[in-house]
């Protein structure tokens, strides 16, 4: 089977974490990967960019297996995270829309994909038949040697000749019990985001900390700069995915300082709850606004309850806090993760300075400290 060949190539070149979303053109590969690798089953391809970035920062050799259409929702994260911090990421993408395609919606983006990748400077390799599969090993090595993403565009012809052996999940039981009694009173918050970050920073010891984009990263830098802080400069929605990726490669605690807008924009919470990283804690700093862009309200301000969303995603350890004292109490009572701490805040930004570090300086000192 050509899928076995691909698995062998990934193993031979040291890949130790694979994030994926299935594609029917890849046949059995998407069934085999979870059994052969440490695997993150995504619900949105973009989250795999963050997961892979966190894993690479922790010294792992990640890869992604997706449908090429998923590169469309991943381009910003690839450019603002993987490329900006110069991190390696081989991506095996079944190339839709160009060969025997019967779904019209697959055609416009995918036919333009080589030109799109070329214009962004992201290297790619065409895999036209099973005879080209060995090129996958070369692109993996190129990705890690040059610290860049590298995409394999795999045409459907590359899989021709194999018989489909896997039959799906028909025999996998879904029996489980869900019991939830939830009642909360949302009070007017007493803290600003900066005050909450100061409390969290005051309890950092050996944990790795990932801070969300924009002002939150600047506030963490102002509150407590340390080598174990990973400051995000872009890549909206990717803080918690980075945290999940870090947990795959380190045993130390990983604290993510995320936000309500970011959490509402990602599909990572059920992925985290399924993977159950014991060393992960997410502090969702919810000021009900897009703070870095002028405090435009998010749905969390009047309607969405992010703690309840985390519970629905499968988290079992959640808290809601509105003031410094309760935040300190929760931090002291954190359990084996994953933990989700919903911190209600007043809108507003502090007057803090920009972070005087380049992306590569942030990357290198974080990796060395980790």
**C-alpha to C-alpha distance for 237 and 242, rounded to whole angstroms:** 10
H runs (alpha helix) in 58-134:
75-77, 107-120
Q: Count of CB atoms within 10 A of residue 31's CB?
A: 17
Query: What is the per-residue pLDDT for 101?
Result: 87
**C-alpha to C-alpha distance for 295 and 145, rounded to whole angstroms:** 42
- Quickly name the fold that domain 2-159 has: Rossmann fold (3.40.50)
Query: What is the per-residue pLDDT for 302?
Result: 85
Equal CATH topology for 2-159 and 193-369: yes
Query: What is the per-residue pLDDT for 26?
Result: 77
Angle at 217 between CA 212 and CA 220, to 5 degrees: 120
Query: What is the per-residue pLDDT for 292?
Result: 72
Q: Which residues does residue 186 pair with via DSSP β-bridges, in sequence order? A: none
Q: What is the pLDDT along the chain (370 residues), one digit of tens a residue?
A: 788 999 999 999 999 999 999 888 876 888 899 999 999 999 999 999 999 999 999 999 999 999 999 999 999 999 999 999 999 999 999 999 999 889 999 999 999 999 999 999 999 999 999 899 999 999 999 999 999 999 999 999 988 876 666 656 667 788 888 888 899 888 889 999 999 999 999 999 999 999 999 899 999 999 999 999 999 999 999 999 999 999 999 999 999 999 999 999 999 999 999 999 999 999 999 998 887 777 788 888 888 999 999 999 999 999 999 999 999 999 999 999 999 999 999 988 899 999 999 999 999 999 999 9
Helix axes 45-57, 239-247, angle to 10 degrees: 50
Sequence spans of domains, the chain? 2-159, 193-369
CATH number for the 193-369 domain, one of 3.40.50.970, 2.60.120.380, 3.20.20.100, 3.30.420.480?
Answer: 3.40.50.970
Query: What is the per-residue pLDDT for 218?
Result: 97
**C-alpha to C-alpha distance for 76 and 81, rounded to whole angstroms:** 8
Query: What is the per-residue pLDDT for 169?
Result: 65
Query: What is the per-residue pLDDT for 186?
Result: 85
- The CB-side HSE value for 328 (13 A sphere, CA atoms) comes to 8
The pair of three-digit structure tokens given for residue 146, joined into one six-digit string: 């040059």
Q: Which residues contact 364 (CB under 8 A, 6 or more apart)?
A: none
Q: Is the overall model pTM greater than 0.85, yes or no?
A: yes
**C-alpha to C-alpha distance for 284 and 65, rounded to whole angstroms:** 29
Beta 89-94 vs 17-20: how paired, if at all? unpaired
Location of structure tokens 């990748």: 117
**C-alpha to C-alpha distance for 335 and 332, rounded to whole angstroms:** 9
* Residue 334 · residue 281 · CB < 8 Å: yes
Query: What is the per-residue pLDDT for 159?
Result: 85
* Residue 313 · residue 257 · CB < 8 Å: no
**C-alpha to C-alpha distance for 241 and 52, rounded to whole angstroms:** 8
Query: What is the per-residue pLDDT for 116?
Result: 97
Q: What is the largest CA-CA distance in the chain?
A: 64
**C-alpha to C-alpha distance for 153 and 251, rounded to whole angstroms:** 35
- The CB-side HSE value for 198 (13 A sphere, CA atoms) comes to 11
């Amino acid at each position: 089977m050509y899928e076995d060949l691909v698995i062998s190539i990934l193993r031979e070149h040291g890949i130790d974490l694979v994030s994926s979303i299935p594609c029917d053109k890849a046949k059995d590969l998407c069934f085999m990967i979870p059994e052969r690798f440490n695997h993150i089953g995504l619900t949105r391809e973009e989250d795999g960019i963050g997961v892979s970035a966190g894993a690479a920062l922790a010294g792992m050799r990640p890869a992604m297996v997706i449908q090429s259409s998923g590169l469309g929702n991943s381009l910003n994260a690839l450019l603002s995270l993987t490329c900006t911090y110069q991190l390696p990421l081989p991506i095996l993408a079944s190339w839709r829309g160009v060969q025997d395609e019967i779904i019209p919606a697959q055609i416009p983006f995918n036919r333009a994909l080589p030109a799109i990748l070329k214009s962004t400077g992201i290297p790619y390799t065409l895999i036209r038949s099973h005879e080209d599969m060995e090129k996958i090993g070369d692109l993996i090595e190129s990705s890690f040697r040059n610290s860049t993403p590298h995409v394999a565009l795999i045409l459907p012809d590359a899989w021709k000749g194999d018989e489909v052996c896997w039959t799906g999940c028909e025999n996998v039981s879904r029996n489980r019990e869900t019991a939830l009694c939830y009642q909360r009173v949302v009070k007017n918050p007493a803290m600003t985001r900066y005050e909450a970050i100061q409390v969290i920073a005051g309890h950092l010891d050996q944990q790795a900390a990932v801070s969300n984009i924009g002002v939150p990263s600047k506030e963490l830098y102002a509150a407590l700069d340390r080598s174990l802080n990973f400051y995000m400069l872009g890549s909206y929605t990717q803080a918690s995915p980075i945290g999940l990726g870090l947990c795959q490669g380190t045993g130390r605690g990983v604290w993510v300082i995320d936000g309500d807008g970011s959490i509402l924009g990602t599909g990572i919470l059920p992925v985290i709850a399924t993977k159950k990283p014991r060393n992960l804690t997410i502090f969702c700093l919810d000021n009900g606004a897009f703070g870095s862009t002028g405090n435009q309200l998010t749905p969390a301000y009047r309607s969405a309850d992010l703690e309840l969303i985390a519970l629905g995603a499968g988290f079992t350890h959640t808290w809601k806090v509105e003031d410094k004292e309760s935040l300190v109490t929760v931090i002291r009572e954190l359990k084996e993760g994953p933990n989700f701490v919903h911190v209600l805040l007043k809108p507003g930004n502090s007057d803090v300075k920009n972070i005087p570090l380049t992306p590569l300086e942030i990357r290198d000192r974080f990796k060395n400290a980790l």
